[in-house]
């Protein structure tokens, strides 16, 4: 659940930064220039809607590690279910971005050879103890 706050913080910070730049431009503008605050208000509204979408989307994510598969279910507009059998898993990667580091959150990427690119088949987001899940999956692979 705390991963939602990382996303919302990033969106909020971006909105404040853009609104500040546009407000500064509005203060510096002369009367002959078009008012920039309308654009700033529109951008802030778009960022708020985007944050609300991410908040709802991340609440739909459901992960399962059972005896045969690693399973992901989620989606707001289009519901997706991904099943990855243990014998198809080729790599498990742990990553953190700049906002996740101070909060101690991690992403666990489950990769297979069948995807044909470097994109993970399933990504577990917002983990505070990723090693536990990594070891759980690795035990089942062997």
What mean pLDDT is predicted for residues 19-37? 62
The structure's pTM equals: 0.67
Q: Residue 101: its pLDDT value, please?
A: 84
Question: Lowest-pLDDT range, 15-19, 123-127, 130-134?
Answer: 15-19
Question: Is-contact 103 128, C-beta < 8 A?
Answer: no
Q: Which helix (H) or strand (E) holds 122?
A: strand 122-127
As a whole number of angstroms, the distance between CA 100 and CA 110 comes to: 19
Instruction: Quick: pLDDT tens for 104-114.
Output: 888 999 988 87
């Amino acid at each position: 659940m705390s991963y939602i706050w990382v996303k919302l913080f990033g969106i909020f910070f971006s909105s404040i930064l853009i609104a500040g730049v546009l407000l500064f431009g509005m203060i510096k503008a002369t009367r002959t220039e078009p008012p920039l605050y309308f654009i700033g208000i529109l951008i802030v509204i778009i960022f708020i809607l985007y944050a609300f979408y991410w908040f709802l989307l991340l609440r739909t994510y459901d992960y399962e590690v059972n005896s045969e598969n690693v399973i992901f279910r989620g989606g707001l507009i289009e519901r997706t279910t991904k099943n990855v059998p243990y014998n198809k898993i080729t790599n498990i990667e742990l990553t953190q971005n700049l906002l996740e580091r101070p909060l101690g959150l991690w992403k666990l990427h489950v990769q297979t050879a069948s995807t044909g690119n470097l994109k993970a088949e399933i990504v577990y987001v917002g983990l505070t103890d990723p090693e536990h899940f990594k070891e759980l999956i690795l035990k089942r692979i062997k």
